[in-house]
């Protein structure tokens, strides 16, 4: 990745994170609760480019607000975890520092900031790919630990 791309992604992350923080601050908490989820599980299955992009944008905003993320890529979204996979860019709102972003670029940025990313346990056996085809840092989810996270009432689960 070029330095220009890296710096641009950093600007996007900052802009997305600050937008999310401003939105959260403007809404406040009507119930007087100050707690935020420390961990979250994001499950992405959609093949829709806009859904994939929005899932990553929202996950990035959560991470910017201090949430430790576990991202699970299943079905068509598992392709985001493949080395060399490149989706089309998604247009950003007017005034954004970048004209376009890709879901996998946001995902990789979040991984550099500590997000864990796995493909579903059945993704590879039902594709033409093996573990060697996954991006560096992307793993294969084990059903037991994933089920534990899903059952844990302190870990919110977001599905796209």
Tens digit of each residue's pLDDT, the chain (160 residues): 444 444 445 445 545 544 444 444 444 444 444 455 699 999 999 999 999 999 999 999 999 999 999 999 999 999 999 999 999 999 987 887 888 999 999 999 999 999 999 999 999 999 999 999 999 999 999 999 999 999 999 999 999 9
- Nearest Cα to 156, choosing from 75, 69, 50? 69
For residues 155 and 160, give the distance between their C-alpha atoms in angstroms, rounded to a whole number.
Answer: 16
For residues 97 and 69, give the distance between their C-alpha atoms in angstroms, rounded to a whole number.
Answer: 25
Q: How many CB atoms lie within 10 A of CB 113?
A: 13
Q: Is the dihedral of CA 88, 65, 24, 151 positive or negative?
A: positive
């Amino acid at each position: 990745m070029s330095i220009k791309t890296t710096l641009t992604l950093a600007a996007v992350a900052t802009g997305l994170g600050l937008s999310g923080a401003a939105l959260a601050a403007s809404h406040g908490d009507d119930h007087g609760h100050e707690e935020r989820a420390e961990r979250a599980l994001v499950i992405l299955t959609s093949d829709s480019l806009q859904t994939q992009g929005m899932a990553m944008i929202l996950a990035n905003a959560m991470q910017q607000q201090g949430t430790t993320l576990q991202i699970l890529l299943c079905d068509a979204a598992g392709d985001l975890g493949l080395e060399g996979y490149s989706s089309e860019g998604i247009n950003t709102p007017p005034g954004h520092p970048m004209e376009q972003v890709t879901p996998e670029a946001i995902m990789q940025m979040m991984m550099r900031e500590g997000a864990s990313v796995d493909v579903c346990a059945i993704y590879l056996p039902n594709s033409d790919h093996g573990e060697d085809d996954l991006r560096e840092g992307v793993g294969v989810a084990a059903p037991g630990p994933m089920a534990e996270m899903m059952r844990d009432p302190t870990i919110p689960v977001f599905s796209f």
